[in-house]
Amino acid sequence: MKSRIWLLYAFVTTVFWGVWGALIEMPEKAGFPATLGYIVWAFTMIIPAAIALKLINWKIEFDIKSIGYGAIIGFLGAGGQLILFTNALTRGPAYLIFPIISLSPVITIFISYIVLKERTNKRGWLGIFLALFAIPLFSYQEPGEPVSGGLLWLIFALLVFFAWGLQAFFMKRANQTMKAESIFFYMAVTGIILVPIALFMTDFSQNINYGFKGPYLAAMIQILNSIGALCIVYAFRYGKAIIVSPLTNAVAPILTVVLSLILYQRIPHIIIICGIVLAIIAAFLMALADETGSDS
């Protein structure tokens, strides 16, 4: 990579997403439904989108190819968010879900290897193997302490895992032919398009907290995700998908796990801890893999 600016953008994404992952459950625990949390997230995307578009004088690309890439990237990202908000996090704990999602670079690496001809070394492939081995460990449930919703949370977490892995690949692919700012614009638009689905899924018969710990706290937390999303688009513009994707997913779950365990004071079973450790090692191995081959 000729420019190292991708590392700065990747760092911002990592920190913001790590903190976001640990705090995301707080509004829901305070009585603000996850479906409404998704809606708040969708609208917080407007802020960084407006700033990014201002930088390019609002010159958005509207050709068919750009719209197609934008729709694919946007719906994979927003769809994953919707599943995360409405199913995964309502059935399982964040300290298990986010390490699984952090392994999405496995998908990105495989497709980038085949289609974009990007390459990694033995450390990268070892990371992929450990990542695949770690996933089943997250499904362990301690006797007498089942996770709410059984193992459905794992299924939904894996759906997000696949969606975001594919999104990262298409994000890099799109960066070769269109501006990063246009990509993020379509990400924001598709997020808002799915808002009616989130509204339809909301149970308005329940007591909803519309106070500070509801939509306002949710907005403060979700803006972290939105800014991180914009930064990762820029990171993909300047860096290889086969490197950027695992790097941004390596440290964020560490922050999420540590902060979640501190906030909620729950120590998971040793088997689950092994899964978390393997996931983190796997992500680091992929992130530290030598850059070989051309970024075509």
| Chain segment 129-169, per-residue pLDDT in tens | 787 777 667 656 555 554 555 577 788 888 988 998 999 89
Q: Domains of the chain: which residue ranges?
A: 5-287
How far, in Å, CA of 32 to CA of 43, rounded?
16
Using an 8 Å Cβ cutoff, are 17 and 41 in contact? no
Q: What is the mean pLDDT of residues 38-55?
A: 95
Summary mean pLDDT of the chain: 83
CB 224 within 8 A of CB 40: no
pLDDT-derived band at 293 (thresholds 50, 70, 90) equals: very low
Q: Residue 179: how many CB atoms within 10 A of its CB?
A: 20
Residues 36, 198: contact at Cβ < 8 Å?
A: yes
The band of 95, judged by pLDDT with boundaries at 50, 70 and 90, is low
b/e code 69-106 from CB counts within 10 Å (16+ = b): bbbbbbbbbbbbbbbbbbbbbbbbbbbbbbbbbbbbbb
Distance CA 101, CA 97 (A): 6
Q: Which amino acid is at 190?
A: T
Instruction: Report, as an integer, the average pLDDT of 172-187.
Output: 92
Q: Looking at the DSSP assignment, which residues form a beta bridge with residue 119?
A: 292
Q: Contact at 8 Å (CB) between 111 and 166? A: yes
Query: 4-35: buried (b, 16+ CB within 10 Å) or exposed (e) per residue?
Result: eebbebbebbbbbbbbbbbbbbbbbeeebbbb
Q: What is the pLDDT of residue 282?
A: 78
pTM summary value: 0.80
